[in-house]
Structure 1
Amino acid sequence: MSPVRGYTGWLGTILGTPDPIGLGRFYAGLLGGDLDEGDPEFVTLLVRPTDTTSLGFQLEPDHVPPVWPDPAGGQQMQVHLDIGVASLPEAVEDAVALGARPADQQPQDDVRVMLDPAGHPFCLYTDD
């Protein structure tokens, strides 16, 4: 299938946060890459600087963290990042040291649902 006409190959994912620089630094510590902190309201992390994949962190002063899982069923996660790792215990330890926390519910043995400092869920999974 062909992409839309004029597609440049750039693909970014943007996360809302009350602290774009802080969340950008968290993900730079978690994933590596080059962090552009030039605009305090919109920070970009080039995860692989030779690629066109990025994470952006946009200022949302009234950000409300997603609820996962929502026992009332009113809110869905909407989007999350899957991050493949060689050692789940070591990756969890590193993520926690950077400011993440494990979610209360863990649905699979080979996956750890984590919450970043702004409350966005992401998954660390054993990538065989």
Structure 2
Amino acid sequence: MTVPKTSVLVLDCAEPEPLARFYGSLLDAAVGPAEGDADLILVSGPTGVLLGVRRDPGRVPPSWPLPEDSQQVHLRILVTPESLDEAEREAVALGARPVAAEGDDTRPGSRTTQRRYADPAGHAFVLAALGEPVG
């Protein structure tokens, strides 16, 4: 049995408010802060969250397609708080590699409500507890 999941694409940028307003206007969607994460703004429509825009003060604008470009986008996969450990086991069993940022506690059973990974091809994603403050 698999844990029920949903996901939202999160765009990292230095100033999330203007970018969120751009996408809100473009998608005819509401823009508002994410609960428990002051650096994340969500763009939501009638069907739910469409996109997230997250503050990253160190972001460098993309120089695509140059290969030395930094991560510009990551996938945030949302699960219920009680399913976070099981979702982590599923992701790792499928080939995800845990990636810890300085200060992260990504151990199973930790109180951290988000955990970072690289997919089998090296793309970044986060498993995050839906509706819980980021710890």
Q: TM-score range by the shorter chain?
A: 0.3 to 0.5
TM-score by length of 2: 0.43
TM-score by length of 1: 0.45
Higher RCO (C-alpha under 8 Å, 6+ residues apart): 2
